[in-house]
Structure 1
Amino acid sequence: MSFAEVLPLVFVMVAGPQILSAIFLATSENWRRNSTAFVGGAALSISLVVGLAYALGVGAAGQGASNTTLSAIVLVALLFAMVHTYRTREESEPPRWMGKLSAATPRFSFRLGFLLMGFFPTDILTSVAVGSYLAARDAPLTDAVPFVLLTLFVLALPSLVLVAFGERAETFLPKARDWMNENAWVVNELVIVFFILMSLNNLLG
């Protein structure tokens, strides 16, 4: 899979409560273990969904699936994400369960990463698209590794920033978290539109 194909997929995976959860956990009391557990749970669920979709798609790989399949499915996921982001734009408060993240445990963080990245509607659709697409092209499952690793890197980014910048990051991350709570939908919509145009170009080109 090319970087141009992977990048919009990764954005769909992390946009919304996923990246917000990563930031909340990076500012929690036990942030090192919580962030590690969150990324670990995400790694397991993403890998399982992609692998299962790949295994189920192998039998259909010889049916001449179009190379535009991934772009079409990603476009649907992006449109879904765009509508969802717009409909929830006026929700000034984060989901109720996010209130638990400041005092989260590694076990809770692992479970959150597993469920959020494996079963959130846009995430499961995107992971299934990746596995099915690789199977349809008769490509090895290892071709999904860049997609999985880049997604995990983005989720780990808040804690990596904290490790790299120390006290400055401890001041910056809470501000970034609060700003994203208030303005994330605008940024998300602009980026989603960009990736929709990219997907349309791949689909029509």
Structure 2
Amino acid sequence: MSFLTVLPLAVVMVAGPQILSAIFLATSDGWRRNSAAFVLGAALSISLVVAAAFLLGDGAIGQGGSRETLDLLILVLLIVAMVRTFLTRGQSEPPEWMGRLQTARPRLALRLGFLLLGFFPTDVITSVTVGSYLAANGFPLTEAIPFVLLTLLLLALPSLAVVALGERAEVTLPRIRDWMNANSWIVSEVVILFFIVIVLDGLLG
């Protein structure tokens, strides 16, 4: 099924400042409301970008565009995402503004989730890739739902860890944050490469 193909791209969506922000918010004052607002903002923006890309791709095909052209566009987007991920791999320290998330309020968390998951370059590319891929292969937009849900689940994991681990999360989450900060780019590259192979197979096959 198509959603199994695009599902791994959810990892690319959260790798980087997205999951780091979720961890900071999970350890903030009022973390329940902040984390829920962050995930809600992300849900809105991801859904909008994926749907817009799908409708544009579907419309282009309906007006005589070829699926091969759309696949080539997807391939270019993936290569851009891979190059950008590689070039930014050395940014090992979280931005200073993340430290202020521990005193954030739900309104800020909602805005951050919307902007970070909807307008961060790698996330825009990934969401557009998912929507375009579904349109190019004749799948319905509903096939994107598992991708969106998995992305949201990954963003919610830090707050779920607080619920499950209690005070131990204060020790565990910073360790996970540091590991993700140092190694998430490798995971992203592997997933992007996997999807490039799928797109190439469709073009050449």
Q: Which range, TM-score by smaller chain?
A: 0.7 to 0.9
Residue aligning to 1:21? 21
Of stretches 98-107 and 84-93 in structure 1, the one that deviates more from structure 2 is 84-93
TM-score normalized by the length of structure 1: 0.83
Residue aligning to 1:30? 30
Identity across aligned pairs (percent)?
Answer: 61
TM-score normalized by the length of structure 2: 0.83
- For residues 1-205 of structure 1, the aligned pairs below 5 Å read 1-7=2-8, 9-62=9-62, 63=64, 65-66=66-67, 69=70, 73=74, 76-181=76-181, 183-184=182-183, 187-189=184-186, 191-205=187-201
Distance between the aligned counterparts of 2:164 and 2:22, measured in 1? 16
| Aligned-residue RMSD, C-alpha | 2.5
Of stretches 47-56 and 169-178 in structure 1, the one that deviates more from structure 2 is 169-178
Deviations along 1:48-67, whole A, 9 cap, x unmatched? Answer: 11122222233223346437
How many equivalent pairs are there?
199
TM-superposed deviation, 1:76: 4.5
Asked if the contact 1:13/1:117 (under 8 Å) is kept, the reply is yes
Asked if the contact 1:39/1:155 (under 8 Å) is kept, the reply is yes
Gaps of 5+ in 2: none
Distance between the aligned counterparts of 2:160 and 2:16, measured in 1? 19
Deviations along 1:53-103, whole A, 9 cap, x unmatched? Answer: 222233223346437956972x54554444434434444431132122110
CA shift in 2, pair 1:72/1:3, >3 Å: farther
For the residue of structure 2 that corresponds to 1:29, the secondary structure is coil
Letter in 1 for 2:105: T
Of stretches 78-87 and 53-62 in structure 1, the one that deviates more from structure 2 is 78-87
Letter in 1 for 2:141: L
Distance between the aligned counterparts of 2:97 and 2:121, measured in 1? 18
Letter in 1 for 2:51: G
